[in-house]
Amino acid sequence: MKAFMINKYGKNSKGHINNIPEPVVGENDVLVEVHAASLNPLDFKIRNGEFKIILPYKTPLLLGHDVAGVIVKVGSCVQHFKVGDEIYSRPRDHSIGSFAEFIAIHEDDVALKPKNITMEEAASIPLVGLTAWQVLVEKARLKKGEKVFIQAGAGGVGTFAIQLAKHLGATVATTTSSANSDFVKNLGADVVIDYKNEKFETILSDYDVVLNSQDANTLEKSLSILKQGGNVFSISGPPTPEFAEALGSPWFVKLVTYVLSRSIKRKAKQLDVGFDFVFMRANGKQLSEITALIEAGVISPIVHKIFAFDEINEAMAYVEEGHVQGKIVIKIKGK
């Protein structure tokens, strides 16, 4: 099969489409013919080597964290899916590789594709949808009437999280450029801050939850807008020892995460607020909950642009530049 591989870590490392064997299908796996995949910042951050400490992949490496396609084979112990099912998924870490014609995925990571959207739209959802779900529903337990600050509202996670937070009944604030102001308001944002000309930390106060996706400086400022007992959930770091423990990391990784997160955890404690690092995990059951919301019209996928299979390098550079509304999708099968 054809697959997009990177041979070494590095910001300037270019991937290549190679011919490799089809995946081996385990007893709990489904083999999926990939119709579409999508790009996430996680892809180029892994390529750049930024996550080697917690995700020590070996090269050559097949990237791709989102997939939509059709099941063409099932393992002997698969119970919930059959050949011909249209599915979507964010495969678990160390089983990624959706930039290919086929991928084997554990059935626990799979959900039926929403019937009312295309393969390309479905491929845009899993990673960002699960990230938003695990922050807002699972961790924050966001309730009606609470206030949540979702940074970078026009981005992949932001566009999904705004819609989900509004469905949960929250008041939503977000940051974006002035050009995207109407766009995020249409998604449901109540308070829109132009990050180029305004300082969110002087405008927002008494918030219950922050979804942080930006740098360390923005994270520190986010602590100050929370009410007492509020919580900031960061998907951009720093990782914590608790995360390393859950991952089963060796002692030296736990030590590194302790050092990296010590300052922000201390500042959060001083302000009597909470800090937690969230690195989303594959979860087919949660993705099925998301399917129901999409089919009900509660949440709509936002696809900015679709690239061809042989344009993944260009697509990755496009995502790295920023300023994408929603997601960039790679069309694997079909013209």
Pair 269, 312 in one domain = no
Report the candidate in 100, 25, 34, 110 with the shortest Cα–Cα distance to residue 61: 100
- 294 within some domain: no
Pair 226, 316 in one domain = no
- 244 within some domain: yes
Token output for 95? 């089983």
Pair 249, 317 in one domain = no
For 292, the enclosing helix (H) or strand (E) is: helix 284-295
- 151 within some domain: yes
Pair 208, 116 in one domain = no
Pair 208, 313 in one domain = no
Sign of CA pseudo-dihedral 262, 263, 269, 274: negative
Pair 230, 305 in one domain = no
- 98 within some domain: yes
Pair 134, 188 in one domain = yes
For 44, the enclosing helix (H) or strand (E) is: helix 41-48
Q: What's the CA gap between 220 and 309, in Å, rounded?
A: 39
Instruction: Print pLDDT tens along the chain (335 aa).
Output: 999 999 999 988 899 999 999 999 999 999 999 999 999 999 999 999 988 888 889 999 999 999 999 999 999 999 999 999 999 999 999 999 999 999 999 999 999 999 999 999 999 999 999 999 999 999 999 999 999 999 999 999 999 999 999 999 999 999 999 999 999 999 999 999 999 999 999 999 999 999 999 999 999 999 999 999 999 999 998 999 999 998 888 999 999 999 999 999 999 999 999 999 999 999 999 999 999 999 999 999 999 999 999 999 999 999 998 889 999 999 999 75
Q: What's the CA gap between 335 and 293, in Å, rounded?
A: 29
Instruction: Say what the pLDDT of residue 248 is.
Output: 87
Which of 262, 277, 292 is the endpoint of a domain?
277
Q: What's the CA gap between 70 and 122, in Å, rounded?
A: 12
- 214 within some domain: yes
Pair 272, 205 in one domain = yes
Pair 305, 269 in one domain = no
- We report the CATH number of the domain holding residue 110 as 3.90.180.10
Pair 106, 215 in one domain = no
Pair 78, 141 in one domain = no
Q: How far is CA 255 from CA 30, 240, 249, 262, in A?
A: 37, 9, 10, 10
The reported pTM is 0.97
Token output for 148? 């949540």
Instruction: Say what the pLDDT of residue 335 is.
Output: 52
Pair 252, 115 in one domain = no
Instruction: Look up the domain containing 218 and give its range.
Output: 127-277
Sign of CA pseudo-dihedral 323, 103, 298, 278: negative
Our count of domains for the chain comes to 2
* Strand boundaries in the chain, DSSP class E: 2-6, 16-19, 29-39, 61-62, 66-74, 86-89, 102-106, 110-112, 147-150, 171-176, 191-194, 207-212, 226-234, 274-277, 303-308, 327-331
- We report the CATH number of the domain holding residue 166 as 3.40.50.720
